[in-house]
Structure 1
Amino acid sequence: MKIGERLLKHLNKKYGPSQMVAFTFGRYDVATKTDEEGNPVLLFIGKADDRGIIKGDQFTRRLLKDASGAVIKDHWDYKGKV
């Protein structure tokens, strides 16, 4: 599975620091974990069961910054099925 442009727009937003954010995107259920700055760094996308656990795909974000805080690299890696 590949992350599309429309979903990337949601993932480029800032959320609350160090929290789990859940939302629906089209026919998929999405859960993302944020870092200390509120950037999504862990993504689960698929179908949630009755307990809220998502069965689908997992992605992690590689976000590199220089000393001044400017983003050098921003890339999502596919980690497999969950």
Structure 2
Amino acid sequence: MPLHPELDKKLSKKYEPKIRIDDVFKGYDITFLTNEHGEPVTLFFGKRRPDGTIAGERYTRTIKRLPDSLEVKSSHWDNRGKIMN
């Protein structure tokens, strides 16, 4: 199942490199991690527990770049399954 278009738009932005961002999207808790270029590459989506972890689903992003460039040619998110902590 693809990501919601508004969530995909939020995750297409650049953030600080190598950080964790905790947020809320349409009533769901989300946490995402960024790579060295500030691009979100791991997403946790579901319900946040008291210890800060999320029970729900994990997604990872595949990024393809233009040759000899940091410009993103294409990217997509893959659902890696349920997280039950």
On whether the aligned pair clears a TM of 0.5, the verdict is yes
Long gaps (5+) in structure 1:
none
Aligned partner of 2:16 in structure 1 is 16
Per the alignment, residue 76 of structure 2 pairs with 75
Instruction: Report if aligned partners of 2:18, 2:36 keep a CA contact under 8 Å in 1.
Output: yes
The separation in 2 between residues aligned to 1:71 and 1:16, in whole angstroms, is 17
| C-alpha deviation, 1:47, in angstroms | 0.2
Q: How much is the aligned-residue C-alpha RMSD, in angstroms? A: 1.1
Q: TM-score, normalised by structure 2?
A: 0.90
Identity %: 39
Residue in structure 1 matched with residue 36 of structure 2 by the alignment: 36
Match of 2:57 in 1: 57
Consecutive unaligned residues in structure 2, runs of 5 or more: none
How many positions carry a matched residue from both structures? 82
Amino acid at match of 1:21: I
